[in-house]
Amino acid sequence: MSTRRTLIAAVVVVWLLEHVVPFGSLVLYPFTLMATWVHEMGHGLAALLLGGHLDHLEIFADGSGLAHTSGTAGWRHAIVSAAGMLAPPLLGAVLLILSRGVRRARLALLALAALMAVSVLLWVRSTAGLVSVPLVAAATALFAWRGSPGERVWFTQLLAITLALDTVGDMIPYALSSTAHVNGSDSRSDVGAIADALGGPYLLWGLLLIVAALALLALGLWAAWRVRPLNAET
């Protein structure tokens, strides 16, 4: 079997769970919230890298979330806002690229599981997040340690496809709006925050982020689609 076939299998499984299997969307629900976690961690890690602070993360049952950061302003705040939006397509592309090697896929899964575990201990402070993030972290670690080479590659690609669908289904519409609906309340969206910090229309920043996100996913899919046997050890 090749990485191309495992990629097709991952796409088919996600589609069946969403559209055919009864309660399949419930199975995918923790992974949907994982995409929110990736978005909020993008905000948080960017703030830390720019000398700011990450107090805590909230992930809500409706799929929205909040990263409570401080210590960034001006262009730094714009980068923090953009980082959250680009985090899912960036991680998705990285996972797709790393899935071409069995060892690299395993290391990617272990690193991701470790980051999720650390985030739960340090930053995640909401019920939905405290349930979903450990569940996905446990599944990720299980596939990394116990899965066969093909299963590890497949699960890595499954996570990447989930993030890709989040990008296309949620990130793109969100990038074209100046407001965000978070846990039942409306607030300023990330592109609105970028426009406030840097000037210019929010639609311009949104379109630029969409182009960047789609380019990242196209790169990842191109890399994963290249035929490679799963017995390759890299």
pLDDT digits (tens, 9 = 90+) for 36-63: 999 999 999 999 999 999 999 999 999 9
- What backbone torsions phi and psi does residue 94 show, to the nearest 5 degrees? -60, -45
Tell me, what DSSP letter sits at residue 124?
A: B
With a pLDDT cut of 90, the percent of the chain lying above it is: 76
| Of 117, 164, 157, the residue nearest 136 (C-alpha) | 117
Residue 85 has pLDDT above 90, yes or no: yes
Residue 198 has pLDDT above 60, yes or no: yes
Q: Which residue has the tokens 């017995």?
A: 231
Is-contact 162 31, C-beta < 8 A? yes
Residue 76 vs residue 228, higher pLDDT:
76
Residue pLDDT, tens place only, 3-36? 788 888 888 988 888 878 888 888 889 999 999 9
> Tokens representing 166?
């989040």
Instruction: Specify the length of the chain in residues.
Output: 234
Residue pLDDT, tens place only, 141-182? 999 999 999 999 999 999 999 999 889 889 999 999 999 999
User: What is the average pLDDT value for the chain, to the nearest integer?
Assistant: 92
Averaged pLDDT for residues 58-76 = 95
Q: What pLDDT is stored for residue 24 in this prediction?
A: 81
